[in-house]
Amino acid sequence: MRRILISLVFLSCFFGCKEKSERETIRIPEGLEVVGYGENSKELCLSCPKKMIVYLNLEINSMLLFGLQPDFWTEMRDKYPEIGVVCVIAGQNTEKKRNRAYVIRNLEEARFPFQVIYDPENKFFETNELKPGINPKSSLQTFFTKNDEFFSSPEIGVPELYKLRLEEFLKE
């Protein structure tokens, strides 16, 4: 199951992310709700110069990614405090009951160490003109940004490539 998820994450990022030459900035639309599950959630840092932005579309995908690798997220919080982690959970799926309550419940169950942005209308996708991948609205896309300028795609589903990209990003 884990290999399938990693493969899906990789393919989604591969087909869903624009090349650096095509993408300039990543913007967080104003007016979106910040949610967490209490004192265990690190406060969202939209003003951090360096950020890892994770976009997940609930219309297509579940929040399995956030609970599957708890050590990954805890390490990002503890080992790399200079990198703001901004997760945008977008869309809704009424058939599968994926809504605000679903987001909060999954954050609590996973003990997710960051607050997230809930974007039920999927404004992030439209604002940043994200390139559709396999699905009409790619379900997962990730970005490293420096001063809101696109730097690279972290490729969080491919550990070796992720570590390489993280090292490059930290040197910048």
* Prediction pTM value: 0.82
Distance separating alpha carbons of residues 104 and 108, to the nearest angstrom: 6
- Residue 90 carries which side chain, given as an amino acid letter? A
Judged by DSSP in three states, 128 sits in: coil
pLDDT computed for residue 21 by the predictor: 43
Contact status, residue 172 vs residue 51, Cβ threshold 8 Å: no
Average of per-residue pLDDT across 138-150? 91
Mean pLDDT of 32-45: 84
Of residues 39 and 64, more confidently modeled: 64
pLDDT for 15 beyond 50? no
Least confident of 4-18, 56-70, 96-110, 119-133: 4-18
Query: Which pLDDT band holds residue 101 (cuts at 50, 70, 90)?
Result: very high
pLDDT at residue 19 greater than cutoff 50: no
* Burial (Cβ within 10 Å: 0-12, 13-18, ≥19) of residue 14: middle
| Angle subtended at Cα 96 by Cα 92 and Cα 99, rounded to the nearest 5 degrees | 35
When mean pLDDT is compared across 2-16, 34-48, 144-158, the lowest value belongs to 2-16
Res. 48: pLDDT tops 90: yes
